[in-house]
Amino acid sequence: MNKPKEIEVKTLYDFQNLVDNKHFSISQAIVTSILSNLKTRKKNVHVLSVKRLEENTVFDITLERDNFSETLKENLKYFEDREMYEECVEIDKAIKTLNKPKPVK
């Protein structure tokens, strides 16, 4: 597992602006974390750390494994917009893997 990306912002408002403007670095960090944790058994995965410089605090963003597929689908379009087709293929493969029916025990 790779260490999640850390984004530095002055205030929480600055981070909210990045989210509202769909800043690609956030999407990229989330997708990278999901792809590197596809085989995890953990229920929640740490996908991003946000360091708020003004308050000198860090908060971590986690994602439930059950939401991996939907989150990858939501972020795929940002990779398509940037014509990052190799990454798109990797994301699509991961979505298909995640959506395979689990074997009955």
What per-residue confidence (pLDDT) applies to 2? 65
Domain that holds residue 44: 5-99
105 C-beta neighbours (distance < 10 Å), count: 3
34 belongs to a structural domain: yes
What per-residue confidence (pLDDT) applies to 52? 94
Find which of 4-8, 60-64, 100-104 is predicted with most confidence, using mean pLDDT. 60-64
Closest CA to 51 of 16, 4, 9: 9
91 belongs to a structural domain: yes
31 belongs to a structural domain: yes
pLDDT, mean of residues 99-104: 80
Residue 18: is its pLDDT beyond 80?
yes
- Can you tell me the distance from the alpha carbon of 42 to that of 103, in angstroms, rounded to the nearest whole number? 19
Q: What is the pLDDT of residues 48-84, one digit of tens each?
A: 999 999 999 999 999 999 999 999 999 999 999 999 9
Q: What is the pLDDT of residues 69-78, one digit of tens each?
A: 999 999 999 9
Within 8 A by CB and 6+ apart from 91, the residues are 31, 35, 72, 75, 76, 79
Domain count across the chain: 1
pLDDT level of residue 44 (50, 70, 90 thresholds): very high
104 belongs to a structural domain: no
